[in-house]
Every structure is written in C-alpha cells, then in structure tokens.
Copies of this chain bind each other. A is one copy, B any other.
C-alpha cells in the first residue's frame, strides 16, 4: 500500500467538506481561504508513543486527543476552529487500528466543524503530529501578554484529574474504581473548551490552556504580561474523584503541576466577573475564581490562613 491510497482510503472523506476549502487531500498542497477581516491562528503539536501515550492506547482515544490538544490551543486564543493537517508515522499499516484512530479523530472534528485538509503518512516509530488552523477577528485574539494588575484569575472545569490518572497508571497510587474511571476519561478523552473560549473572549484579557500544569502555564502569562499573581489554594476547583482520592496538599500539587488538563486559565478585569460567570454557566461549564494578578512579579500560592504554599512540581518537563 502506498501513501496515496492510504490517505485516500482512510482520511479523504473523514470529515465534512467546508466551503472555505478549495482543495483538500490529493494535491501537493491544500488550498484554503481565510475570511476577510480575520487572522489565521495555527498550532502544531506532537504526541509520541511511550512519551505522551502508551503504545497500546485505544487508537480512537489517541485520534481524539491529538485533535483535542490542538483545539485547546485554538481555544486559548479565542479562535474558531477550521482545518487540521495530520502527519502520522506508523510502524506498519494496521487497518483495524487506523479505522479506530480515524473514528476518534472524526468524532471530535465533526463536533467542531473541523475538516482534515492534508497530511503525510510515513513509516517509523508511532508518532502523531497535528496542526490546527482557526480564525479570529482582527486584533481580538486572547494572548498571553494581556494580563493587568487587578485582573481576576479564573480556570474552567477542574484541575489535576489527568495527573491522578497518570499516578494510578504508574502504580503510584490505587484508586477506587469510579474515581479511576473518571480520571482516566479526563486523561484520554479531554474536551477542549472551544465554545467556552468564544463566549469568554470579549470579557477576558489574557488566556492560556493548561497543558503543562497551572503553575507553569499561568507562569507564561505572568512572564509575557510582566506581572505577578496570588493563587488561593482552597479555591482551586477539584473533582469529587480527586478530593476523595487524595489529601488536600497532594491534590493541590497535582492541580498546580501535573498538566494534561486542557482547561483554560484566563484573566479578566473585576467588572467582568458577573458576565463571565453567566456566559459560562449557559454552557454548563464551571468557571472558578482562583486568584488575582498583582504588580509584584512571581507566582505566590497561599492558604486561607495566609500561610504560603510551596508547590512540589514545576510543571511538565519536555526534556
């Protein structure tokens, strides 16, 4: 089987045809049109077997997650998803595996109107690289450098669930069956906050997605914006599964440092508080106030009684 027939068979029709795609898979390049008045937002991410996922992972979950990671990056800019390109490196052509992978990818792509417009399939160690392309109105993107002193800091959803699942898989801890199932679902089938991002974009000043852990990712906002922050530990949103499985200190450490959460961390002026809560509650997404941006540089975590809390992890290290 050659590359061409592989792409044709498995990927060419895997998502619906968008009107802004002039030419998709099957030529030297895809040809695309960005609507006038919009900027193009792009993000590329790689998942490597044995590093970011186990080789025996459900291929549907892998296809889903590869796309979710990119959608989460678009969400963090407040961009509307449009197209994906896929570079897939496979040790061999396993038709059952491929069909499942495409199923996971297509399911999520369909939910957000994303069309797969191009790709490359190569032989080698199992690796998935996916680039997402989206649109954002000129000058309206949510950036990391927009936070200002006095801004409130919010996160969507709950934190630390994926870290909990990873600890359970590595044998570090044992979880009750229900907590394990919940945490693994959060790790393997993350739901990117695309609609939430579009709703909060007009209200927020800065945003990032939490893929490397809250402390590290909020740290990027602080660095790029030239500000500092205080986080209230007791305010961090934790799932029931996490709370029932760990002591608060351990739970906070996962929430701050474990990563792989694909939630959004945003900052917004104080007057946005009400509208922001309203906008996200319509979507059924919790949006929790967890701290404040300050002029004083650095990230300070503190407890209700005013005592400082020193996080154990520094966020996901890529090398």
Binding site for B on A (CB under 8 A): 1-4, 6, 22-23, 26-34, 36, 39-52, 73-74, 76-77, 79, 85-87, 89-90, 92-93, 117-125, 127, 129, 131-134, 136, 138, 141, 143-145, 207-209, 216, 220, 224, 315, 317-319
* A120 lies within 8 A of B45 (CB): yes
Whether B39 contacts A2 by the Cβ 8 Å rule is no
Query: By the criterion CB–CB under 8 Å, are A124 and B48 in contact?
Result: yes
The 25 sampled A-B contact pairs (Cβ below 8 Å) are A2-B319, A4-B220, A22-B39, A26-B144, A26-B224, A27-B143, A27-B144, A28-B77, A29-B43, A29-B76, A30-B43, A32-B40, A32-B41, A34-B34, A34-B40, A42-B85, A42-B118, A45-B120, A46-B89, A48-B124, A48-B125, A51-B124, A85-B131, A122-B318, A124-B127
Tell me the nearest residue of chain B to A27, going by C-beta.
B144
Tell me which residues across on chain B come within 8 A of A34, comparing CB atoms: 34, 40
Interface SS of chain A: strand
Residue of B nearest to A74 (CB): B29
Q: Would A209 and B28 count as touching, CB distance under 8 A?
A: yes
What residue of chain B has the Cβ atom nearest to residue A219's Cβ? B4
Known A-B contacts A31-B141, A39-B22, A144-B27; A87 and B44 likewise in contact (beta carbons under 8 Å): yes
CB distance from A3 to the nearest CB of B (A): 4
Question: Given A28-B74, A32-B40, A92-B319, 16 other A-B contacts at CB below 8 A?
Answer: A23-B141, A27-B145, A28-B73, A29-B43, A32-B41, A42-B85, A44-B129, A46-B124, A46-B127, A46-B129, A48-B89, A51-B123, A51-B124, A89-B127, A120-B129, A131-B131
A14 and B41 alpha carbons, distance in the complex (Å): 20
CB contacts (< 8 Å) of A74 on chain B: these are 28-29
- Return A218 CB to nearest CB of chain B, in Å: 13
A140 CA to B121 CA in the complex, in Å?
28
